[in-house]
């Protein structure tokens, strides 16, 4: 049996029956990381001793019959989530020696269930990017084709799940960073409703848009992860006081034809977007037919403000980022340039050396757009557009339960192809940004392969707090499509 191929749910079953131990399972992943991660570069930190110790502890608990669905299951964490005692870099030089004194709430929840935290994954610096090329440390490669990007910013987590370096992972999504890399790597990624999952201990990029969510091998595992990470947290004032349903139980009720009664809307503006790859359109069309075959009624809807989404997002996100990143000043955290005459020079040198070019670009855009005289014209206006986008979604969801779209206009592009052209990179976020602007949940589910053999996902979005519909539809779709090839062969 290939232990590294197990889903979280299957690993749990085998652990519970005593067929495998967590130490065996964890060692299988560590061996695979050792054998292949020098080429894929999914991890910034692999915590081998920590993971093996946690696995041994999990095995003791399992032997006593004390186990939860996560006990002994190896999980990878995007290196933007604080882990007590384990370096948390945000893929930035400014934090390359930062060891948090506390755990993010999601990390604490995984630890409380004795999951095995195998390591911290690579990302675009501070989650700013769509390809994981903006990391200060390394470029992660797509396990399906090493010349291509894995997507981003949670590219390390998506690549780690696709390359079978862990059972599942956590990523974060501010404008698509869970869904887009999941699509590019052929795995499942879910961005929960804003407020569903506590952001405590997640290093903030754009606080009104950021959410943590699962990146997993299949939809059932995404449901399992959601059961654990969702819920109100007094440490995050934006976390919602909403009951968390048992997502896994709900999936068990999905029989092959039971998507009947669901309506999925396709925004007419989305198909007018320029530059959609023909392979993406073909796979999208097939996905639509698969859903129809399951009884989903497809309707045309309109999201009239789609053409303003990218512009508004790329004002709001940098504004929030410029404010959030002010805390990295060489005094309180991480790197400091000591060779300075006075404090102003120290700030300047620390930030110039500590932050990479994309992060500096965003801080400058954000600071400019928030400055006196420009605030109303940029941030104020973008916020008004955001309200219009939210209203578009509210109206659309009067007509349908799901909104269906591609995840990205193209399959994973080649490494280096877009790095010199930030605007093209920003435009590739067109289908994912709206969910964050409107605060609604979205999922990416594998939909097939491009003619070059690269994975492509489809996106479904739902009303706020209706992750249940996403998971049910995703689960039905995944089973009906029944892709035979799910994981790349690593050479």
Residue ranges in contact with ligand GLN by CB under 6 A: 127-130, 153, 173-177, 205, 317, 429
**Short-list 178, 191, 183, 225, CA closest to 8:** 225
Our answer to whether residue 183 is catalytic in this structure is no
CB of 358 to ligand GLN, least distance (A): 8
Token duo for residue 195 = 């407020």
* Full strand arrangement of the beta sheet holding 211-216: 43-46, 116-121, 74-78, 168-173, 211-216, 188-191, 442-449, 455-462, 402-406, 263-267, 297-301
SS (H, E, C) 89-133: CCCCHHHCCCCCCCCCHHHHHHHHCCCEEEEEECCCHHHCCCCCC
- Pick between residue 350 and residue 436 the one whose CB is nearest to ligand GLN: 436
Give the residue with the Cβ less far from ligand GLN, 207 or 232.
207
Nearer to ligand GLN, 77 or 317 (CB): 317
Whether the Cβ atoms of residue 43 and residue 158 lie closer than 8 Å to each other: no
* Cis status, amide bond into 123, omega within 30 of 0: no
Q: Which of 177, 198, 322, 434 is catalytic?
A: 177
Active site residue 153: yes
Alpha carbon distance 209, 227 (integer Å):
21
Chain centroid to Cα 317, Å, comes to 16
Antiparallel, parallel or unpaired: β 168-173 and 211-216? antiparallel
Query: Which of 111, 85, 90, 112 lies closest to 100 in space, CA to CA?
Result: 85
Which residue is it, tokens 């999990």? 58
Please, what is the minimum distance in Å from the beta carbon of residue 57 to ligand GLN?
33
- Label residues 59-98 b or e (16+ Cβ within 10 Å = b): beebeeeebebbbbbbbbbbbbbbbeebbbbbbbbbbbeb
Smaller CB distance to ligand GLN: residue 206 or 251? 206
Task: Tell me which residue of 17, 27, 20, 14 sits closest to 166, measured CA to CA.
Answer: 27
What angle (nearest 5°) sits at the alpha carbon of residue 90, between those of residues 88 and 94?
A: 90
Measured CA to CA, the distance from residue 481 to residue 286 in angstroms comes to 9
Cα separation, 440 vs 434, in Å, equals 8
- Return the number of the residue (74 or 129) whose C-beta is nearest ligand GLN: 129
Closest CB 445 distance from ligand GLN, rounded Å: 18
Phi (first) and psi of residue 293, to 5 degrees: -60, -25
Catalytic entry in 22, 130, 135, 153: 153
CA distance 91 to 462: 31
Q: How many of the other CB atoms lie within 10 Å of CB of 348?
A: 13
Residue 317 CB, nearest approach to ligand GLN (Å): 5
Phi, psi of 286 (to 5 degrees): -65, -40
Pick the catalytic residue: 21, 22, 78, 198? Answer: 78
Q: Where is 76: in which H helix or E strand?
A: strand 74-78
Instruction: Choose between 429 and 467: whose C-beta lies nearer to ligand GLN.
Output: 429
In the annotation, is 177 catalytic? yes
Give the residue numbers annotated as catalytic, written as ranges. 78, 153, 177
């Amino acid at each position: 049996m290939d232990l590294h191929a197990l889903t979280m749910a299957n690993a749990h079953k085998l652990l519970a029956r005593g067929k495998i131990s967590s130490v065996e399972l964890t060692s299988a992943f560590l061996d695979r990381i050792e054998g292949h991660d020098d080429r894929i570069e999914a991890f910034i930190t692999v915590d081998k001793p920590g993971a093996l110790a946690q696995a041994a502890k999990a095995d003791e608990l399992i032997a006593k019959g004390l186990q939860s669905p996560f006990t002994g299951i190896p999980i990878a964490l995007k290196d933007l989530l604080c882990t007590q005692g384990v370096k948390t870099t945000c893929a930035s030089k400014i934090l390359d020696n930062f060891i948090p004194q506390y755990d993010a709430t999601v990390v604490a929840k995984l630890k409380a269930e004795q999951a095995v935290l195998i390591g911290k994954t690579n990302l675009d610096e501070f989650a700013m990017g769509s390809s994981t090329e903006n990391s200060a440390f390394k470029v992660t490669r797509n396990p399906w084709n090493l010349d291509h990007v894995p997507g981003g910013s949670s590219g390390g987590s998506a690549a780690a799940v696709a390359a079978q370096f862990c059972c599942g992972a956590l990523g974060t999504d501010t404008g698509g960073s869970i869904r887009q890399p999941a699509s590019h790597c052929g795995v499942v990624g879910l961005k929960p409703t804003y407020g569903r999952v506590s952001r405590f201990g997640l290093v903030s990029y754009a606080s009104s848009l950021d959410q943590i969510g699962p990146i997993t091998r299949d939809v059932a595992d995404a449901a399992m992860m959601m059961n654990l990470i969702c819920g109100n947290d007094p440490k995050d004032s934006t976390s919602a006081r909403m009951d968390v349903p048992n997502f896994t139980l709900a999936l068990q009720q999905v029989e092959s034809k039971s998507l009947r009664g669901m309506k999925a809307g396709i925004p007419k503006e989305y198909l007018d977007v320029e530059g959609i790859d023909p392979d993406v359109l073909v796979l999208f069309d097939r996905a639509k037919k698969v859903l129809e075959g399951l009884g989903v009624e497809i309707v045309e809807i309109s999201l009239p403000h789609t053409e303003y989404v990218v512009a508004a997002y790329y004002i709001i996100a940098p504004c929030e980022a410029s404010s959030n990143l002010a805390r990295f000043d060489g005094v309180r955290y991480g790197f400091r340039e000591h060779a300075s005459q006075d404090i102003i020079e120290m700030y300047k040198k620390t930030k110039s050396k500590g932050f990479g070019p994309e992060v500096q670009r965003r801080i400058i855009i954000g600071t400019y757009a928030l400055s006196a005289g420009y605030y109303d014209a940029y941030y104020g206006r973008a916020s008004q557009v955001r309200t219009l986008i939210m209203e578009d979604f509210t109206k659309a969801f009067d007509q349908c339960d799901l909104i269906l779209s591609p995840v990205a206009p193209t399959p994973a592009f080649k490494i280096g192809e877009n790095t010199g052209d930030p605007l093209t990179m920003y435009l590739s976020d067109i289908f994912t940004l709206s969910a964050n602007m409107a605060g609604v949940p979205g999922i990416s589910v594998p939909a097939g392969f491009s003619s070059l053999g690269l994975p492509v996902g489809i996106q479904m979005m739902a009303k706020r707090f209706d992750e249940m519909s996403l998971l049910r539809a995703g689960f039905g779709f995944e089973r009906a499509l029944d892709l035979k090839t799910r994981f790349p062969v690593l050479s």
